[in-house]
Chain A
């Protein structure tokens, strides 16, 4: 075998090893988190952890339902605020903005992805929380779901916008021409042809955003208030739900892990397992949708 062939083979094995190593790392993380959580699952029972809302480490009560509701609520709020904004950005960049404008706006949107989480948290604490506090409802501290949802909406914006932009660009130009030639306006063409045709890619972008939102930690700790309560409206107005404080799954781990021991520590790992599972489901569904979209494009 020539030296060139040997080099070729060697490179192949090195690349293969790198791929294997990253898989091993994911499996190892999953394995160790799960192993550390076994104590909590067996001592307390799955139901006690997943379906109880009381988290009192001092009394060995480790229900994480409040944190599940907290994470889901703030993610829901972020999607509610962030998706229209991100979709607007994506449509603007893909179909409306002239290329000179695109070359300014696109990097600016992408820059949002590069801002450290803790900086978002600072912005939230110093600017948003005092603003939210001005809403005159008894018990409103400013910290809570609203401020956290706004911060999170901005944080997931670049993810959703860039995936959605790609999806919109992937819609064949001849659909647009077909629509315009039938006397549709540009806006009708976008809403009735382009967005439906790019739907699965856009949904995949939203789901990736959900995954990102569920995993966000630092900024959430800084603005959501971290009270272990199931969020509920502060007054008769159901909208005041979003003024309620909450704690996320991620925040629960980060706030307490430094001093936790024994079952308490294990229960935090159990929180991690739940989070890991949620995010895996979310990402897997995004991937399967993206794969479906590619398949459709090929069929055309």
Chain B
């Protein structure tokens, strides 16, 4: 396995008294795509949000153990700086009600960049990387909300790339898209994995198989506490899982 970019050590998360995640240990490799799969309610999205401290926004959340990025404890980082390094793409495309240009330029602007020419370069570069440039280059002033769902999601990816993160978290990024738009997003994930560490939550087994290098299977029992059952290369998980529960889930016996 390569260098691990993200790592958790005995990581548990509680909503009040309810334990949502239990003692998770994982090492997510750098510049690879890692898929988090598992049945609904197993805590995989919660786990994803642990890496950019978005769970901090929810009242009553408490954690134990450690989350490390490049070996550093993320609780010791400034969440604002952390989120510039760890971008996120949400399940439902959420472009701001602003122009395409202003959407992509948003991140660089909040960090204080004002130079118009530099912003233009970043916007073009980010839109190209998100495979959206050719479709929107003549309409950068158009509202991001006027784009199709698939285009909106790629705009959100461009927006995340513009901040120059090293990690991109994706929470079921294709869940609300049609099959063709989904395919485009999946191709994009492939291309991005050369330069970025990508962690993607997905409900779609085939998608996990298509896009990811590594797969983590989360499971929950009647206590509704999520735990990591198995983590390995995607082909191993799909062809030769070690745990019976993984096999049952993969083969569609539940979930």
Contacts and interface: CB of A to CB of B under 8 A. Distances in A.
25 contacts: A98-B59, A172-B94, A174-B92, A179-B96, A179-B106, A180-B54, A180-B57, A180-B83, A181-B52, A181-B54, A181-B87, A181-B90, A182-B83, A182-B107, A182-B159, A183-B81, A183-B84, A183-B107, A183-B111, A184-B107, A185-B110, A192-B110, A193-B96, A197-B96, A299-B145
Contacts of A110: none
Nearest to B98: A196
Interface in A183-203: 183-185, 188, 192-193, 196-197
A61 to B, nearest CB: 53
B80 A178 contact: no
B19 to A, nearest CB: 24
A182 B98 CA distance: 15
Interface of B: 52, 54, 57, 59, 80-84, 87-88, 90, 92, 94-98, 106-107, 109-111, 145, 156, 159-160, 163
Given A196-B98, A299-B145, A300-B145, A178 B110 contact: no
A175 interface: yes
B164 to A, nearest CB: 10
Nearest to B83: A183
Contacts of B163: 182-183
Contact of B80 (A184, A192, A193, A300): A184
A182 B94 contact: no
A184 B145 contact: no
Contacts of B92: 174
Contacts of B52: 181
A180 B106 CA distance: 11
A299 B54 CA distance: 27
Interface in A157-185: 172, 174-175, 177-185
B106 A177 contact: no
What bracket does the count of chain A residues touching chain B fall in? 20 to 34
Nearest to B95: A178
A181 B106 contact: no
Nearest to B97: A197
A192 B193 CA distance: 31
B54 to A, nearest CB: 6
A172 B83 CA distance: 20
Given A174-B92, A174-B94, A177-B94, A182 B106 contact: yes
B106 A196 contact: no
Contacts of B156: 178
Given A192-B106, A196-B98, A182 B90 contact: no
Contacts of A184: 80, 106-107, 110
Contacts of A185: 80, 110
Contact of A182 (B59, B97, B110): B110
B244 to A, nearest CB: 37
Contact of B97 (A180, A183, A196): A196
Contacts of A296: 97
Contacts of B98: 196
Contacts of A175: 94, 96-97
Contacts of B110: 179, 182-185, 188, 192
Of A177, A178, A179, A296, the most chain B CB neighbours within 10 A belong to A178
Nearest to A98: B59
Enumerate the 5 nearest inter-chain pairs by beta-carbon distance, A residue then B residue, closest first: A183-B84, A174-B94, A181-B88, A182-B107, A184-B110
B149 to A, nearest CB: 12
B84 A178 contact: no
B57 A182 contact: no
Contact of A177 (B90, B109, B159): B90
A230 to B, nearest CB: 43
Contacts of B83: 180-183
Contacts of A181: 52, 54, 83, 87-88, 90, 160
A296 B54 CA distance: 28
Interface string A259-300: 000000000000000000000000000000000000010011
Nearest to B91: A174
B122 to A, nearest CB: 13
**A182, A188, A197, A300, most chain B CB atoms within 10 A:** A182
B104 to A, nearest CB: 10
A192 B106 CA distance: 9
A175 B98 CA distance: 11
A300 B80 CA distance: 28
Contacts of A188: 110
A182 B87 contact: yes
Contacts of B88: 181
Given A177-B57, A192-B106, A182 B84 contact: yes
